Amino acid sequence: LLAERFGGRLDFLIYSVAAPRRTDPDTGNVYASVLKPIGSPYTTKTLVFDEYGAPEVKEVTTAPAEGDDIEQTVAVMGGTDWERWITFLADRSLLADGFATAALSYIGSPLTAAIYRQGTIGAAKSHLEATARTLDERLGKTLGGRAVTSVNAAAVTQSSTAIPGIALYVGLLRGVIGDAMVAPIGQLVELWDQLTGARPLDLDDEGRVRLDTWELDPAVQNAVAERWSTATSDTITELADLDWFSDEVRRLYGFSVPGFDYTAAVETDVPWPTLTI
């Protein structure tokens, strides 16, 4: 399809996966990812909403990884399929000279580190970043290309809000910095500018593009940590921007779009559009 519709060679490829399971196409083995801490149980505050939409701050405890949980999560969310894509495309001569690829990653706050960066998903992100270094060396030699991971900043997504503590953290983060919080599209415009050379590629010591520096600024993290320590069901509306958070969640499902009349009748029987090339 790439050769037929788009003239063949790719200049850029962005890899981003959030998935509960993966089937290895060579072996047929099915792997399942888990969100668990490593070593010991993890207890954290988390934000939930009751059936009437009222916010509650509760404590939840997540059991630690056991058995092959870490290996399973790495198999799903690590860099294996990213490397597979690059290999298959290269073998079919579908990568242009100077080809660049980026995989999206996350580090996050010390407040969520036990369940995220130091947990099973963090092990997968470390594997993804190691894959980037391998691919970068390979692409540099063969195509004069690049492979990097892009460490993006916090955002409200279906995946992130399923992780204990993340919804509370993001709401508090927004409460601290307001409109200075960079939306995902702004982060990805910055990534695109760096990949295309419109701006210099700004890498950390491990070869990662860092789009999260505003989030991990020590002053910001200290302010969020202070609010986190005093967050309860009684105080949360004063500490977090819950109106913004609720709108972000609704927008994931197509609601809270400015200027749209949700009371208007909608035609639901619409023919599937015909593909035009």
Mind telling me the catalytic residues? 116
Nearest by Cα to 236 from 4, 54, 44, 67: 54
Per residue, what are the HEC states of 112-132? CCCCCCCCHHHHHHHHHHHHH
Neighbouring residues of 184: CB distance < 8 A, sequence distance ≥ 6: 152, 155
What does the alpha-carbon distance between residue 181 and residue 215 come to, in Å, rounded to a whole number? 8
Residue among 19, 109, 15 nearest 73 (CA) = 19
Q: Could you tell me the CA-to-CA distances from 4 to 97, 100, 277 in Å, in that order?
A: 19, 21, 10
